[in-house]
Amino acid sequence: MPRLHSMPRRFMTVVGALSIASSPLVLAACTSQTNEASSVQTQEQNALKPDPALVTGTLENGVRYAVLRNQTPPGTGALRVQFETGSLNEKPGTEGLAHYLEHMAFNGSKNVPEGEMIQILERLGLSFGADTNASTGLDRTVYKLNLPSLGEEVLDAAFMLMKETAQNLTLDQDAIERELGIILSEKRTRDSAAYRAWEARLSFLAKGSDLIDRLPIGTEASLNSINSDDFKAYYKEYYHPEKTIVAFVGDKDPQEIVDYIKATFGDWAVDTAPGKDRPASPAKIPSGDVMFYAEEGLPTNISLMSLRPYEKRDDTPALRKQRLIESLATGMMGYRMSAIAEKSDRPFINAGMSRMSNFELTEGMSFSAYTQADNWETALAGIDYELRKVLKYGFSEQELKAQLARVESSYKAIAEGADTRPTTARRGGLIDRVMSSYDNDRVFTHPQQDLERFLAQKDSITVEDVNAALRNQWGDLEDVSVFMTTETPFEDAESLIQQALENSRSIEVAAPDASDMSATEFAYSDFGPAGKITSDVYNEAVDAHLIKFENNVRLNFKQTDYEDDRVLVQVNFGEGNMSSPRKNEGLRRMAYALMSQSGFEAHSLSETKQLMAGKLVNPAAFNFRDGGDNFFMTSVTVPDDFREQLNVFAATLTAPGFREDVRTNHIDKLKAWYPRHDTTVSGVISREVPRIIRSGDTRFGFDDEADFYSPTTEEVKSWMLPQLKEGLIEITIVGDITKEEAVKEVAATFGALPKRKDVKDPYPEMHELKFPEGMIEPYKIYHRGDDNQAQLRVYWPASDGLDARYSRELSVLRAILRNRLVKEIREGEATTYSPGAGSHASQIFPGYGYVTAVLTLKPEDVTRMADKVQSIANDMTKDTLTEDEFNRAIKPMIERLESTAKRNPYWAAVLSDAQTDGLGLTAHQTRESDLKDMTVADVQALAKEVFKLGNSIEIHALPNP
């Protein structure tokens, strides 16, 4: 059943249009048996076939498990233990207990003393937070371990700790009281205008249900009242074998993992039945209702919603086809809205349509627009008009053909790369797909099966089917509800919104202009005679070819099998922000907008997207960093679309669009964002801190609003055109493609361009950057957000990263600092939920780097905790670093050496400057020896240098007094 993710993750209520990138990966459920043979036969004929590689089973005590072997990256794995219980099972007066209990799992068990669990994992090479985490939702709690290696010692410890969590927590009253401050800090950190707007939306979607009062974070009063007996009662009732799911994905024989599961959980016996689930009470459908929510700092969003009671459905081929048809409609609507959003007279900044599901209470459709606060009526009329137009006239055959091509290319790419899908990833990964099979009652099918099913269905899908499905989803427009958020309240808002909608409905819609959807071939495929190679050097140490063309274009190539059917392409060119005519953040952002959103001389961006339908090509890849010394374009494509991606990249250099509409629209976006940027702690920090720690350099942070609007299109062109036409080009290609094919296509595109610069221009003034002098008094900056939120940042100066060994020592020092902050402030003071530490060693600015500590706090704790942080740093200069904490900091880095070297992005980073600066190659060649030869004495010496008294600067981000 659909789950509402919760703490510590961001809450979600809206399920977007079916993501073709992920839908083939979802997932598994058991069908109930029946005694009637004919019924069984029908079920079997209609059933989806699970991926046979997924090993599933149930222990005698009810523990379920799922194990999948996966070797990407090799030698690693991911372990999850999920208890099918969350905040909905809390008794009245104990709201927040389930999430609080998740925290207590790290605070003492029968065989692991309080405070030892994290240290045990760190000694095995796991990082706190990155590899060891947990989350609590309305009806589930998940404990997560990402394992950088799979030796017996690691697996023994991982399963032992999961057993401790499931069966042996002590839940000591003193430990509970010590953890309370951290829980309250997390609650305070997550409380914001955006979160409260989300709660308002949830209360609207779940109108009449008690769901809104049973969210996982609880209330301050309930959290303060929960005691050890409450924890133990809930733990006994709901951490129960019959409510437990164990999942493992990784590079290990599944039978070995099943044996671990049986040995760990097989003897788990409970003498009581599991507690009964307490589902949320039913919701009333808000038919034709309007809700308005205003609070300072909120963007202006307005949504039309068609809602109905949630209907539970079995995962069958028929349901998947139905969802595919619905996703085709929302996908086509997205492309329509993108084209509208490019126009200077657009009614909204952007808009999109999606399916939504609200925790088995309500489901339906949402059509939302983001706009400026004073433009809400126009935006509402705009989405209403486009909704009525598509429901009346439908989509065209041409639109459906293009969308089917996009979906097919996505299915094919996933199927072809199925055997090298990563176990974990920032956005998903196989372990998450396996877990969602249980969460969503979906069959875990193999991507090849999904592709075959799609190919068998696609010719039977007509535009009439799609139009009918969309009309069925939206139903009678008289029942459509409206939800709006904005920054400033106005009187009688609901009535005004209703009136605006009625005014919009009085305007008759016109049929779509067929010319808006006309398509021609991409205009840029011939760049002249193919370039000739002048040198081709094979670097045996990294198994890569370093090639140079006659026009000075450089190509760094490495063929890999880490990701089947995937090719990573990165094009670095020019001198980036170093070449800017003035030190100005507004100019940088304007240049980025014009270059990334203007398309080409012959095609707008939306036209280019239509032309690339069915191809895995990134048409808007241009980018550059503030303080970077090159511009870059990067994309992951497939061999069949490799040439088309190079055509797009080469066209970016030879025929950029520089459309004035893009500049106008960029300013519109800024006007919607800037007035509220300082209503959060993070917003004011992004404005002030980058400039403070760089001694006022105006390329970092930002100034007044007008500074963003002043750069003209001509000013951007005068800066960018010489860089596009003359700048040094270094291309890196890593992936599943032959050298012959890569060289051939690069020669026909970039190799055919006019001669380029052979060296970068120096720009000595632009490479100067200084860390500010240490100060006695802190910098104080102010936000307009919640008056109970503040942040402390302390920065200490360091040197640059031109010496890779130094940069690595700095990273280890940062990790030790972070571990001490966790121990002494998170656990010792309980004033902050997640203290952070960072390090930066620039490869662009000689002599510039820093180490930083970051704490989110109550305003009244900032000064005291600043003194504490300074004391911790000062103590690190006094020969106090121990071998144990050094090993706990460096072990995760060493454990990842092998797995990171089996990833295409790693090699793209290594090779991206191989024929210019060569810093990536140098860093790669020394990375193992640097870490394995490093000693605690090395880091201790660095601590004495970095944490000198009087070196640091403090920044206190506080509520505006």
Q: How far apart are CA 199 and CA 293, in angstroms?
A: 10
Share of the chain above pLDDT 70, in %: 95
Name the residue among 418, 423, 381, 328 with its Cα closest to residue 78: 423
pLDDT at 36: 40
- The last residue of a domain, from among 767, 795, 822: 767
Same domain, 646 and 500: no
Domain of residue 98: give its range: 54-193+206-265
Give 70: exposed, middle or buried? Use CB within 10 Å, 0-12, 13-18, 19+. Answer: buried
pLDDT in tens, 180-204: 999 999 999 999 999 999 999 999 9
The per-residue pLDDT for 107 is 93
Mean pLDDT throughout 868-887?
A: 98
Same domain, 455 and 395: yes
Distance CA 238, CA 101 (A): 11
Collapse the DSSP code of 905 into the 3-class scheme (helix H, G, I; strand E, B; otherwise coil) and give the result: helix
SS3 439: helix
Residue 430 lies in a domain: no
pLDDT band at 776 (very low <50, low <70, confident <90, very high): confident
If asked whether residues 742 and 788 sit together in one domain, one would say: no
Task: Provide the pLDDT for residue 515.
Answer: 61
Residue 553 resides in a domain: yes
Structural domain includes residue 495:
yes
pLDDT tens digits along 129-186 = 878 999 999 999 999 999 999 999 999 999 999 999 999 999 999 999 999 999 999 9
The secondary structure of residue 823, as a DSSP letter, is I
CB atoms within 10 A of CB 784: 16
Are 79 and 245 a contacting pair, CB within 8 Å?
Answer: no
- The tokens 């180490």 sit on which residue? 851
Q: Are 798 and 854 in contact (CB under 8 A)?
A: no
Rounded to the nearest 10 degrees, how much is the dihedral formed by the CA atoms of 496, 498, 503, 509?
Answer: 140
Cα dihedral 494, 497, 501, 502 sign: positive
Cis peptide upstream of residue 309 (ω within 30 degrees of 0): no
Other CB atoms closer than 10 Å to residue 811's CB: what's the count? 19
Strands 290-294 vs 350-358: parallel, antiparallel or unpaired: unpaired
Both 251 and 369 in one domain: the answer is no
Phi and psi of 558, rounded to 5°?
A: -140, 120
- Predicted confidence at residue 131, as pLDDT, reads 82
18 lies in some domain: no
- 366 and 243 within one domain: no
- 187 and 311 in a common domain: no
Query: CB-hemisphere CA count at 13 Å for 647?
Result: 16
Residue 775 has pLDDT above 90, yes or no: no
Whether 254 maps to a domain, the answer reads yes
- Per-residue confidence (pLDDT) for residue 583, from 0 to 100: 95
Distance (Å, whole) CA 106 – CA 120: 11
- Domain contains 521: no
pLDDT tens for 612-659 read: 999 999 999 999 998 999 999 999 999 999 999 999 999 999 999 999
Q: Region 19-27: what's the mean pLDDT?
A: 27
Q: CA 60 to CA 242: how far, in whole Å?
A: 10
**31/43 Cα distance (integer angstroms):** 8
- The whole-number average pLDDT for the span 485-509 is 96
Same domain flag for 842 and 745: no
Question: Please, what is the end-to-end C-alpha distance for the chain in angstroms?
Answer: 47
Same domain as 845, residue 719: no
d(C-alpha 357, C-alpha 352), whole Å: 16
Can you give the pLDDT at residue 45? Answer: 52
pLDDT average, residue stretch 450-459 = 97
Q: Which residues contact 900 (CB under 8 A, 6 or more apart)?
A: 73, 906
Mention every residue, 6+ apart, whose C-beta is less than 8 A from residue 443. Answer: 27, 28, 29, 47, 48, 49, 50, 315, 437
Boundary-marking domain end, from 720, 741, 767? 767
Q: 549 and 611: one domain? A: yes
Helix, strand, coil percentages in the chain from 3-state DSSP, rounded to 5: 45, 15, 35
Contact 813, 939 (CB under 8 A): yes
Whether 22 is in a domain gets the answer no
Q: How does the average pLDDT of the chain come out, rounded? A: 93
**Interacting residues of 450 by C-beta distance below 8 A, sequence separation 6+:** 23, 24, 411, 414, 415
- Mapping DSSP onto H, E and C, the string for 307-363 reads EEECCCCCCCHHHHHHHHHHHHHHHHHHHHHHHHHCCCCCCCCEEEEEEEEECCCEE
- Is there a single domain that holds both residue 328 and residue 372? yes
Helices 919-933 and 904-911: angle between axes, nearest 10 degrees: 110
In a domain, 3, yes or no: no
- Average pLDDT score over residue span 741-763: 97
Q: How far apart are CA 795 and CA 952, in angstroms?
A: 5
The token pair at 279 is 């589902």
Q: What angle do CA 112, 118, 120 make, to 5 degrees?
A: 65
Q: Which two tokens stand for residue 549?
A: 């063309």
Backbone angles phi, psi at 23, to 5 degrees: -60, -35
What CA–CA distance (Å, rounded) separates 334 from 321? 20
Neighbour-count burial for 693-724, b at 16+ CB within 10 Å, e otherwise: bbeebebbbbeeeebbbebebebbeebbeebb
Helix axes of 173-190 and 97-104: crossing angle, nearest 10 degrees: 120
List, as one string, the DSSP characters of 837-898: EEEEE-SSSTT-EEEEEEEEE-GGGHHHHHHHHHHHHHHTTSS---HHHHHHHHHHHHHHHH
Least confident of 18-22, 86-90, 288-292: 18-22
Tell whether 670 and 804 lie within a shared domain: no
* pLDDT confidence tier of residue 34, bands split at 50, 70 and 90: very low
Q: Which helix (H) or strand (E) holds 795?
A: strand 790-798
> Residue 20 — pLDDT band, cuts 50, 70, 90?
very low
> CA 79, CA 431: separation in Å to the nearest integer?
8
Please spell the DSSP secondary structure of 707-776, one letter per residue. Answer: HHH---HHHHHHHHHHHHHHS-EEEEEEESS-HHHHHHHHHHTGGGSPP--SS----GGGG---PPPP-S
% of the chain residues with pLDDT over 90: 91
Provide the number of structural domains found in the chain.
4
What is the DSSP-derived secondary structure letter of residue 425? B
Picking from 668, 710, 702, 706, the residue whose alpha carbon sits closest to that of residue 683 is 702
Q: Which of 375, 58, 472, 45 is nearest to 246 (CA)?
A: 58
Give the Cα separation of 494 and 482 in Å (integer).
Answer: 9
| Residues 446-456, mean pLDDT to the nearest whole number | 97
Answer yes or no: do 545 and 506 share one domain. Answer: no
pLDDT at 520: 82
Mean pLDDT lowest among 17-21, 221-225, 665-669 = 17-21
Please, what sign has the CA dihedral across residues 684, 840, 824, 156? positive
Residues 231-253: tens digit of each pLDDT: 999 999 999 999 999 999 999 99
Q: What integer pLDDT is reported at residue 60 of this predicted model?
A: 97
CATH number for the domain harbouring residue 487: 3.30.830.10
- Which of these, 450, 439, 366, lies nearest to 411 by C-alpha position? 450
